[in-house]
Amino acid sequence: MEFFEHGPEKFVVMEYVQGEGLGHQAPTGKRLELLRDRLHVLYALKPDGADIGPVHCNAAQMLGRARAFYEGVNGGRFSGVLQEAYTEAIARLASKEALHLSEEPAKRVFMRGDPNLANCLWDGERLYLIDFEYAGWSDKAYDLADLTEHPQSLGTDRKSWDAFMETFALSEAERRRYSASCKLLSLFWLGKLWLSGSAPFGDAESRAKFEMRYSRFRQPSRRSLSLVGLAPPKLRAAAARLSAWLRTT
């Protein structure tokens, strides 16, 4: 990878590489270890001589996007605990913890800006990070949350991601920021999968994605929600647990 300038334009250039994206593959073992190693190298980069600006979408901007999404949805079409959960999500996005994400982090690192697993290519032996279109400076805690909470990361279990995270030795402040970022990004993706369209669920694929998102949405007990079949009673119970989690964390 090289950084260079041509007149007023600035570029990050990579050669073409072959491989299969890790998206939806539930990477574990060697692939997850290689991803960890590549990110450590990326976060240590200091592209001297290249005037690179902030990342395309940082934590503060994502907070704005999530707020705009929820505020733009017609919450009146829901009732009962679904309406309650929707209202709690709006409140969560206005909480002190969320507002903390609007502050500039103490330490910035270089990152891709689109860390989802589809942009991690595996050729059977090596792992390549690609797609630096949105690259720039931001904070490590948010970037890691953006990776682990992305829908393409749902196949890897939470225990594996927790072990992965421990290798980055986040400070106490960074851990708090990571936790807040995870909640923000969970709300964003949950909203995209749950509230999009004319009904809470549009098709079987949307329901399956919603189930996966709920199972990753962190509960105090750290147990996954069971939404098999998504029958109305199960859906109401799940929404009630989401509401309770939002009020108590």
Can you tell me the mean pLDDT for 224-243? Answer: 43
Q: Are 59 and 140 in contact (CB under 8 A)?
A: no
H helices within 56-203, ranges in order?
59-72, 80-92, 96-100, 140-148, 158-166, 172-194
Give the amino acid at 75.
G
Distance CA 19, CA 123 (A): 4
Across the range 37-43, mean pLDDT stands at: 93
Note if the pTM is more than 0.85.
no
pLDDT digits (tens, 9 = 90+) for 46-79: 766 567 788 889 999 999 988 888 777 766 666 6
89 with 72: CB under 8 angstroms?
no
Q: What is the mean pLDDT of residues 231-244?
A: 49
* 202 CB-near residues (< 8 Å, 6+ apart): 196
Residues in the chain: 249
Map residue 139 onto helix, strand or coil.
Answer: coil
Q: What is the mean pLDDT of residues 15-25?
A: 78
Give pLDDT, residue 53: 82
Average of per-residue pLDDT across 181-208: 65
What pLDDT was estimated at residue 228? 31
Residues 28 and 35: their CA atoms lie apart, in Å, by: 10
Selection from 7-16, 36-45, 47-56 with the highest mean pLDDT: 36-45
How big is the CA angle at 207 (ends 64 and 121), to the nearest 5 degrees?
70
b/e sequence 73-111, b meaning 16+ C-beta within 10 Å: beeeebeebbebbbebbbebbeeeebeebeeebeebbbb
Which residue spans within 103-163 are E strands per DSSP?
109-111, 120-122, 127-129, 136-138
165-194 pLDDT tens trace: 999 999 998 998 998 888 888 888 877 766
Integer Cα distance of 132 and 142 in angstroms: 17
What Å distances lie between residue 229 and 29, 143, 211, 232, 235, CA to CA? 32, 33, 9, 9, 9
Q: What is the DSSP string of 7-29?
A: TTEEEEE------EE-TTS---H
**pLDDT the model gives residue 82:** 57
Output the furthest CA–CA distance in the chain (Å, rounded).
62
Mean pLDDT of 103-112: 83
Q: Regarding beta strands 120-122 and 20-21, do their DSSP bridges make them parallel or antiparallel, or are they unpaired?
A: antiparallel
Please, which pLDDT band fits residue 87 given cuts at 50, 70 and 90? confident
Copy the structure tokens of residue 196. Answer: 């999009």
- State the average pLDDT for the chain: 75
